[in-house]
Amino acid sequence: MTKKHETTPSADQAQPQHAEQQEETSQSSIDATIERILAADDTSRQRGVLDERARELSSVEVEHADTDGEQYDLFERRSLRRVEGLSTELEDITEVEYRQLRLERVVLAGIYVGGQSAEAEHSLRELAALAETAGSTVLDGFLQKKSTPDPGTFFGSGKAEQIREAVAEVGADTVIVDSELAPSQRRGLEDIVKVKVIDRTGLILDIFAQHAQSREGKAQVELAQLEYLLPRLRGWGDSMSRQAGGQVGGAGAGMGSRGPGETKIELDRRRINQRMAKLRREIANMKPAREAKRANRRRNAVPSVAIAGYTNAGKSSLLNRLTDAGVLVENALFATLDPTVRKASTPDGIGYTLSDTVGFVRALPTQLVEAFRSTLEEVADADLILHVVDASHPEPEGQIAAVRQVLADVEAHEVDEIIVLNKADAAEWDVVERIRRREPHTVLVSARTGEGVEELKELISQSIPRPNVPLELLVPYADGDIVSRLHAEDVEILSTTYTEEGTQLSVRVRPEMTADLAKYQVTA
Ligand SMILES: Nc1nc2c(ncn2[C@@H]2O[C@H](COP(=O)(O)OP(=O)(O)OP(=O)(O)O)[C@@H](O)[C@H]2O)c(=O)[nH]1
Ligand SMILES: [Mg+2]
């Protein structure tokens, strides 16, 4: 199935293309005129969109803060980077296509509705960053003004033809479209541009597949990929006749269209469904272990703080800064997929857990949100969310909105949230001011330099549930270990006085501790 362009076009297949052309010509001539007028604008737009480096990846060389640790994973990951021009051919593409996109030299393309070109450019630059993260070289980018996507080829055959020319000119082997394409649009476009076409969702899934490490993460990504792939199996649906080798003639693609191709596709489809059911079971089986851990934390009333935010905002760097965890930090999108939970404590010694999560992105594929639901639900369960925002980005508002959308999807929108404006060392002041005006709880930090981190720790300390049962204790000197325990555990010690009978303490503890301390209790 690698040889997608070798199949002889059947009458059946030619039909929709023909219809599409008709539709195209029957579109009002006003459209054509507008297109012509825009053409001038378009040529300037076609080049230049990607002249600036993709903003989503920071433009400064990656430096690591001391707190970032040894970054062994990074070395490993780099050493596995795709090498341009080398690729592994795999035979049974219906089975492996979804993990092996073989992106090498790519051309990007997107459409925008009138008046939203800035937004579309932004999105296309982000797409470039995603493509780079996936290991490909971005050669060119196009934006087309179009209010509704063409049902057959997404761009319309005229524009698709231009893309084909550009692809041929720069020698690209893949076109990445900045939207989610319907399976038929992807096929329609591939037939014109003559190289592989993938969409934003497929690209993000590919990055996730490259970065997944844990058994659970891998299973989650594979499930999302299969879900995405299922309706996209080549030969499924309208192009069934290609599978039958073009033997099906005439308009009636009814009974006669049942050929060997369909059987093969049905088989694949059944196998994929079985695999998906198995993955769902596996993921469900992994959940109890994580839930047990979480329940344990709950029982011990350890407050939990979740770090969430747009991809590359600096979540892992912040976790490292707050805990010395040595978690992988990379100037790449979706560096972290596997949630990491670390212990941390407030300046006055109240312990809490801090967890790093998968980054979010505009239009995070729904298949991924679904597959990662169990992971993301940990965020919903937290006592506090540190929503990390890249303050060196010119317009982080869109990112904040995208993150909140995902948080709402997993019902985490009611958890207390602190907006952590990170990368203070590289921030634009007007951006910082703008966000501070809009958001009630913000703090400006730099995970790299450590600036503002003390203030953030203080804010966390005030925002997590604190021990809240006041007790007056008198502990005989013989029971000195109790006093050390009070110091070691999550107890707020308000005052200590030494009397003849023992140490007198005024404390606040968590409810679970009151039973143990009952025998030392005195009335104030
Ligand atoms: N200038 C500057 N760069 C920073 C700061 N914090 C993080 N970075 C850089 O931003 C990039 C992304 O950092 P990460 O901590 O990996 O970001 P993340 O949010 O965990 O990213 P994903 O896991 O990919 O979603 C890295 O190149 C960091 O070195 C900061 O305070 N200032
Ligand atoms: Mg990370």
Per-residue HEC secondary structure of 14-55 comes to HHHHHHHHHHHHHCCHHHHHHHHHHHHHHHHHHCCCCCCCCC
Which of 89-98, 382-391, 461-470, 479-488 holds the top average pLDDT? 382-391
Fold annotation for 469-520:
Alpha-Beta Plaits (3.30.70)
Q: How confident is the model at residue 437 (pLDDT cuts 50, 70, 90)?
A: very high
Would you state the pLDDT for residue 134? 83
345 vs 335, which has greater pLDDT? 345
Asked if residue 25 has pLDDT above 70, the reply is no
Mean pLDDT throughout 56-79?
55
Q: How far is the CA of 312 from the centre of ligand 2 (A)?
A: 7
- Name the residue ranges covered by the structural domains of the chain: 11-61+84-212, 301-463, 469-520
Contact in structure between 317 and 450 (CB atoms under 8 Å): no
Would you state the pLDDT for residue 300? 63
User: 271: Cβ–Cβ under 8 A, 6 or more apart, which residues?
Assistant: 95
Would you state the pLDDT for residue 241? 38
| Extended beta strands in 401-498, E state | 416-422, 442-444, 469-476, 492-498
Mean pLDDT throughout 20-26?
42
The CATH classification of domain 301-463, taken from the options 1.10.10.10, 3.40.50.280, 3.40.50.300, 3.90.550.10: 3.40.50.300
Atom 14, ligand 1: residue with shortest CA distance: 314
Long-range CB pairs of 403-408 (<8 Å, 24+ gap) are: 403/308, 403/309, 403/310, 403/360, 406/360, 406/364, 406/369, 406/376, 407/308, 407/379, 407/380
Integer Cα distance of 474 and 503 in angstroms = 6
Q: Return binding residues.
A: 309-316, 334-338, 356-359, 422-425, 446-448
User: Which pTM does this prediction carry?
Assistant: 0.70
Asked if residue 422 has pLDDT above 90, the reply is yes
What percentage of the chain reaches a pLDDT higher than 90? 17
Supply 482's token pair. Answer: 């109790």
Pairing of strands 351-356, 340-345: antiparallel
418 vs 51, which has greater pLDDT? 418
Question: Identical fold at 11-61+84-212 and 301-463?
Answer: yes
The amino acid present at 389, given as its one-letter code, is: V
The answer to ipTM > 0.90 is yes
Q: How confident is the model at residue 338 (pLDDT cuts 50, 70, 90)?
A: low
13 vs 121, which has greater pLDDT? 121
Would you state the pLDDT for residue 231? 79
Would you state the pLDDT for residue 394? 84
Asked if residue 412 has pLDDT above 50, the reply is yes
Would you state the pLDDT for residue 102? 56
Which residues form the pocket of ligand 1, taking CB atoms under 6 Å from any ligand atom? 58, 62, 309, 311-317, 329-331, 333-336, 359, 422-423, 425-426, 446-448
Q: How confident is the model at residue 318 (pLDDT cuts 50, 70, 90)?
A: very high
Q: How far is the CA of 351 from the centre of ligand 1 (A)?
A: 25
Would you state the pLDDT for residue 85? 35
Integer Cα distance of 105 and 137 in angstroms = 5
Atom 27, ligand 1: residue with shortest CA distance: 331
Q: Return binding residues for GTP.
A: 309-316, 334-338, 356-359, 422-425, 446-448
Cβ count within 10 A of residue 255:
6
Cα–Cα distance list, 77 to 93, 110, 135, 336, 357 (Å)? 25, 30, 11, 12, 19
Integer Cα distance of 225 and 229 in angstroms = 6
DSSP code for 521: B
**What is the overall mean pLDDT for the chain?**
74
Q: How far is the CA of 67 from the centre of ligand 1 (A)?
A: 12
Integer Cα distance of 217 and 335 in angstroms = 13
Asked if residue 177 has pLDDT above 90, the reply is yes
Would you state the pLDDT for residue 468? 82
Given this structure, which CATH class describes domain 11-61+84-212?
alpha beta
Q: How confident is the model at residue 489 (pLDDT cuts 50, 70, 90)?
A: confident
Contact in structure between 312 and 399 (CB atoms under 8 Å): no
